[in-house]
A and B are shown apart, each in its own frame.
Chain A
């Protein structure tokens, strides 16, 4: 099966499911170093994403991403709405009108996402934010694409790198976002934005893998 619009819809319905399942965990992580709304905000947004995608006609992968992006921007609020929204808008733009995706396209979309998030959030690697999961994911995707991996292979590499990146935020002292107000007290906690980024990429990779797409 090709990585096309309908498999993209299925993949994001899967993400919505994963976010719902991890809502409480994300609320708890955010309460430790932020204000405890990250899980609730994402759940609110992805509930609407699921509703809209279920009603969506066949579209290109880029159009699906754009729909998810605008829905998140108009429903999530907080920092996560504009940041995930920007990431997906940039990814959609990178994919353009392509009907199906190969490994290179996925890597390009991830590179555009991470550049977009860095520009919008003015954060860099080491600040203890979603950037710490997203940038390594984009880099791993680029290497995998250069080796000639398929779309699902590239996503799998990206997800593994995001998991490592998210785990590495535990030791960091936050320099951006609400956790930065805690100073040294923010160390010892997993960053909720890096964790949700990891969850999303892992879910997308699992969907792509189970669809058995063009290896």
Chain B
């Protein structure tokens, strides 16, 4: 393992300290318990949008705290959910009196810790709702698994609901919108090379030179199947086919296409893949009306990509276009 770290056990704390130095527009509480909140929070009579999860997915979630997106985020240890008291502390810093919406990715640990936190927050008399995000089509949703994972689609939920909260939407509306985005978004990813968690020191799986993992999540875990590397257009088809079949998306749908790097794939390959994906979608009669390309929902230095498709309507497109001002996503103001 070769990493720019001091002590493997202090990686998250030290990274949060650095983030605090880089972003005075945020309040970054880096220890006991750790959370990140807009410096101008709590904002009276605005719904607080709070998300969180393990670290190692940067810029998710802390990089998306700011006007037009998240009110606060709570980072857990690398690839490990935050604890209930972290969620509680983030909510306490964010709550402006109009209720709180917790956006949670569907992983057992995240769900259990946010569920416990929501009980504690509710006991304080705060109106709290939870929406669980589960956009990953690589996992078959059935009674026999923990259900689909929440992956890159999380960013789209956070952006759209954050825009609504910024505009003064009430808690019912924010919750409805979050569920609408969850119902309209699907993702799938692949890995060319694994990542190494600092406290583990060893790669999360081992691939031969010509092997790739299809259907990975965002925690360095292996995917659903292992295949051979292929040209980009074939890889893109491998990812988009199950995504399109799942919702299902139908020809003529207006869509947002989000091409995400798992951390270690350079922008040149991302744009190439994005172009391939747009061509395939156009060919099948979809209208790609919005695009996002970049490393936004990562697994440390894992090489690979995920493709996320969101079915748009006027309401979602308008909220997507609304101004946002966060460390990692910024436009329109």
A-side interface residues toward B, CB under 8 Å? 27, 31, 34-37, 40-41, 44, 73-83, 120-121, 175-178, 180-183, 185
- Are A121 and B83 in touch, CB under 8 angstroms? no
- Are B112 and A181 in touch, CB under 8 angstroms? no
Which residues of chain A have C-beta atoms less than 8 A from B83's C-beta? 73-77, 81
| Of B76, B144, B202, B204, the contact of A175 (CB 8 Å cutoff) | B144
User: Which secondary structure characterizes the binding site on chain A?
Assistant: helix
Instruction: Please give me the residue from chain A that is nearest to B205 by CB atom.
Output: A31
- Are A82 and B77 in touch, CB under 8 angstroms? no
In the A-B complex, list the 3 residue pairs whose CB atoms are closest, starting with the nearest.
A78-B109, A180-B145, A82-B112
- Are A36 and B220 in touch, CB under 8 angstroms? yes
Expressed in whole angstroms, the minimum distance between the Cβ of A23 and any Cβ of chain B is 10
Which residues of chain A have C-beta atoms less than 8 A from B9's C-beta? 44
| A74 and B84 in contact, given A44-B77, A120-B112, A180-B144 (Cβ under 8 angstroms) | yes
Using A35-B219, A36-B204 as known contacts, list a sample of 9 further A-B pairs with CB atoms less than 8 Å apart, ordered by residue number in A: A27-B199, A31-B200, A31-B202, A35-B197, A36-B197, A37-B77, A78-B109, A79-B112, A178-B108
| A78 and B80 in contact, given A35-B220, A36-B220 (Cβ under 8 angstroms) | yes
Number of contacts between A and B (CB, 8 Å)?
104
- A121 CA to B108 CA, complexed, in Å: 8
- Are B116 and A82 in touch, CB under 8 angstroms? yes
- A44 CA to B80 CA, complexed, in Å: 12
| A77 and B146 in contact, given A31-B202, A35-B221 (Cβ under 8 angstroms) | no
- Are B108 and A27 in touch, CB under 8 angstroms? no
Is residue B62 contacting chain A, with contact meaning CB distance below 8 A? no
Instruction: Please give me the residue from chain B that is nearest to A78 by CB atom.
Output: B109
Which residues of chain A have C-beta atoms less than 8 A from B197's C-beta? 35-37
Which residues of chain B have C-beta atoms less than 8 A from A79's C-beta? 81, 108-109, 112
Could you pull out 27 A-B pairs where Cβ atoms are within 8 angstroms? A36-B197, A37-B77, A37-B78, A37-B79, A37-B200, A40-B77, A40-B199, A73-B83, A73-B84, A75-B83, A77-B54, A77-B76, A77-B81, A77-B82, A78-B81, A79-B81, A81-B109, A81-B112, A82-B109, A82-B112, A83-B112, A120-B112, A177-B146, A178-B146, A178-B221, A180-B146, A183-B145
Which residues of chain A have C-beta atoms less than 8 A from B78's C-beta? 37
- A81 CA to B219 CA, complexed, in Å: 18
- Are B200 and A178 in touch, CB under 8 angstroms? no
| A41 and B220 in contact, given A73-B116, A181-B146 (Cβ under 8 angstroms) | no
- A27 CA to B198 CA, complexed, in Å: 12
- Are A41 and B77 in touch, CB under 8 angstroms? yes
- Are A181 and B108 in touch, CB under 8 angstroms? no
Expressed in whole angstroms, the minimum distance between the Cβ of B111 and any Cβ of chain A is 9
User: Which secondary structure characterizes the binding site on chain B?
Assistant: loop
- Are B113 and A77 in touch, CB under 8 angstroms? yes
| Of B84, B85, B144, B200, the contact of A36 (CB 8 Å cutoff) | B200
- A149 CA to B34 CA, complexed, in Å: 46
- A76 CA to B113 CA, complexed, in Å: 10
Expressed in whole angstroms, the minimum distance between the Cβ of B8 and any Cβ of chain A is 9
Is residue B131 contacting chain A, with contact meaning CB distance below 8 A? no
Instruction: Please give me the residue from chain A that is nearest to B8 by CB atom.
Output: A40
- Are B108 and A37 in touch, CB under 8 angstroms? no
Is residue B139 contacting chain A, with contact meaning CB distance below 8 A? yes
Which residues of chain A have C-beta atoms less than 8 A from B149's C-beta? 181
- A14 CA to B220 CA, complexed, in Å: 32
- Are B204 and A81 in touch, CB under 8 angstroms? no
- A37 CA to B193 CA, complexed, in Å: 19
- Are B199 and A181 in touch, CB under 8 angstroms? no
- Are B199 and A74 in touch, CB under 8 angstroms? no
- Are B146 and A82 in touch, CB under 8 angstroms? no
Is residue B107 contacting chain A, with contact meaning CB distance below 8 A? yes
- Are B85 and A74 in touch, CB under 8 angstroms? yes
| A82 and B220 in contact, given A36-B200, A175-B144, A178-B108 (Cβ under 8 angstroms) | no
Is residue B224 contacting chain A, with contact meaning CB distance below 8 A? yes
Which residues of chain B have C-beta atoms less than 8 A from A35's C-beta? 79, 197, 204, 219-221
Is residue B217 contacting chain A, with contact meaning CB distance below 8 A? yes
